Amino acid sequence: MVKKKFGRIINLSSMSVGLLEEGTSLYSSSKNSLDTYSKILSKELAKVNITCNTIAPSMYNTKSFRALGETVINSSKKKLQIQRELKLEEITNVIEFLFKKESGVITGQTIYLGLTV
């Protein structure tokens, strides 16, 4: 990307960063570190036309998501502005938007899907 002077880096974080749930300290702090890493990297790579952003989806039906159990899922769902599971297309839509050449001025951002932080 640096040689071509163009690129898009999109990292995936989690709603857990914004929810600040007990019992998620290690996971949430690692995802928060990814957010900070992306912001710093966006500054370092801006001069070579590379953007770096983070997407933090809320609830998406995966094996690890289901493993949380109904009690945790329902408790977390109540804290979201959009209180439902995301569709894959809703996540990929944001990814596709950030990959576009026309999105070249969007960098260093964390985009939360379904949650206001």
Domain ranges of the chain: 7-113
Question: Would residue 27 show up in a list of annotated catalytic residues for this protein?
Answer: yes
From the candidates 27, 37, 60, 112, give the one annotated as an active-site residue: 27
Query: What is the mean pLDDT of the segment spanning 100-117?
Result: 93
pLDDT at 102: 95
CATH 3.40.50.720 for the 7-113 domain, yes or no: yes
pLDDT in tens, 58-88: 888 888 778 878 888 888 888 888 888 899 9
DSSP codes of every residue in 24-89: -HHHHHHHHHHHHHHHHHHHHHGGGTEEEEEEEE-----HHHHHT-HHHHHHHHTTSSS-SPPPHH
Model pLDDT for residues 6-65, shown as the tens digit of each residue: 999 999 998 888 888 777 889 889 999 999 999 999 999 999 999 999 999 988 888 877
Q: What is the pLDDT of residue 99?
A: 96
Residue 115 has a pLDDT of: 85
